[in-house]
Amino acid sequence: MLRLIYSLLLALVAPVFLYGLFKHKPGKPAVGSRWKEHFGYTPAIDSTVTASSTVIIDTATSHNTTANSSSSSSSSKNKPVVWFHAVSVGEVIAVTPLIKRYLTQHPDKQVLLTTTTPTGAEQAEKLAPEVIHRYMPLDFSFAVRGFLAAIKPVKFIIVETELWPNTLHEVAKANIPISVINARLSERSCLRYQKVLPIFRWLSSKLDRVLCQHADDASRFLRLGMNQEKVHVTGSIKFDISVETDVLFKGKSLREELGTNRAVWIAASTHQGEDEQVLSAHKKLLESHPNALLILVPRHPERFNQVADLCQAQGFSLVRRSEKNNALHSGSAVYLADTMGEMMMLLAASDVCFMGGSLVGKKVGGHNLLEPAAVGVPSITGPSYYNFSDITAQLVAQNGSAIVSNIEELATLLADWLKQPELLRNMGVNAQQVVDDNKGALARTLNAI
């Protein structure tokens, strides 16, 4: 009865969700003709329509990638299919090293990766032809059954905590083992689940194992009554970051371009309403460090032009990374990183990182501080970091990061740190050590699944 009520409610909200998903947005990929996959009309593994035709950006690219996928399909036919689900870009990036190692250890398996969003699909394309992409069916029983009939997976592995009632019910009914890896359960989510405890317990009964990032995540699952034998702490696979030498080299080259004799700080993954605060902090910083440069990286590409206009409206001398002919000079105050896929390089070019999503109230909950830590850059976060509380606590305890309550504290801390290059170097080493000390989650997760 609960599932029936849920399905009726889902039918009511689905049009709104699909409108947002299918609507064309400038600078972002589109679902295009593959919209049927969301309703369970999924091409079988041996079909020629596979992962790399996910997002058609230009005709030439589409033709080439489809050809690659076709050759992959013929080699993958008849292999047992292991289904990974990663909702969007962040989860795809997190699980990519694990999938690559899984395929190395299990060449007899075919990995299929589903995403919900087209940006996630675009990221998943980078794993083709070894990994096949499909869109995740909507959480209607008919759609999930259609997907299962076409794909016939032998395992279902969910990245982080995407628990959809009808999906779990249909997959479990088909006797397909379900694992949740890199599982997170914030205190906020735990309190929400406590209000609907019978529903959570029904959901968790469908899971075979839950591999948690941290001990506090595991304790929350147990608090909600989950079977202790199913819950394990394997660590966060995000700690197993391998920074390519090429990325560090490009970061060093960019820093030489930006200026080695000036203070450079980065505001990474900023959200709507946060850019104004960051620019306010930068204006204050320029009083004590008149040559300082801010690398500003908005979280969502559709906001690049809006943020550029904001910088200019506030009187900042702006350089956009996408405009190669726009020369950087000593008077430039803001470097707008309006490109995709270059975050690690940008971090490697910086002295200190402010992590966005943490100064916009409680709606975001921060972003991952491990990326700056992995390249030896100390970080600062605002007061809202509940999605990464354990990671943040470890970095703060080891003097690799700090928490500020507001924009005034951010400006003051930046001014203080940027006067002390030796302090920043030591903090960067501390942050990197936290990453190194926590590595191994990838191997533990692989052993468990």
Contacts with 277 (C-beta within 8 Å, 6 or more apart), sequence order:
359, 407, 410
Residue 449 scores a pLDDT above 80: yes
Over residues 333-343, mean pLDDT: 93
What torsion do the CA atoms of 392, 394, 399, 402 make, to the nearest 10 degrees?
20
Asked whether the beta carbons of 95 and 182 are under 8 A apart, the reply is yes
> DSSP character for 137?
P
Over residues 360-373, mean pLDDT: 88
Q: For the CA atoms of the chain, what is the radius of gyration?
A: 23
Look at residue 158 and give its three-state secondary structure.
strand
> Which amino acids are annotated catalytic?
91
pLDDT of residue 52: 39
Residue 123 scores a pLDDT above 70: yes
**CA distances (Å), origin 385, targets 33, 186, 188, 298:** 38, 10, 12, 17
Which alpha helices (H) appear in 225-369, and where do they start and end? Answer: 245-258, 275-288, 304-313, 343-348
Look at residues 273, 402, 271, 301 and name the one whose alpha carbon lies nearest to residue 25: 301
Region of residue 376 (left: phi > 0; alpha: psi -120 to 50; beta: else): left
| H/E stretch holding 199 | helix 197-204
> DSSP character for 398?
T
Residue 69 scores a pLDDT above 50: no
> 12 vs 330, which has greater pLDDT?
12
Joined tokens for residue 8: 């009726």
Confidence of residue 211 (pLDDT cuts 50, 70, 90): very high
| H/E stretch holding 319 | strand 318-320
pLDDT of residue 325: 67
Give the global pTM.
0.68
| H/E stretch holding 69 | helix 59-76
Look at residue 335 and give its three-state secondary structure.
strand
Cα distance between the two ends of the chain:
33
Over residues 358-369, mean pLDDT: 86
Residue 60 scores a pLDDT above 50: no
Which alpha helices (H) appear in 275-388, and where do they start and end? Answer: 275-288, 304-313, 343-348, 370-374
pLDDT of residue 243: 87
What torsion do the CA atoms of 13, 19, 25, 28 make, to the nearest 10 degrees?
70
Confidence of residue 75 (pLDDT cuts 50, 70, 90): low
Q: Structural domains in the chain?
A: 26-241+444-448 (3.40.50.11720), 245-437 (3.40.50.2000)
Asked whether the beta carbons of 446 and 102 are under 8 A apart, the reply is yes
Residue 66 scores a pLDDT above 70: no
pLDDT of residue 62: 34
Asked whether the beta carbons of 224 and 204 are under 8 A apart, the reply is yes
Confidence of residue 195 (pLDDT cuts 50, 70, 90): very high
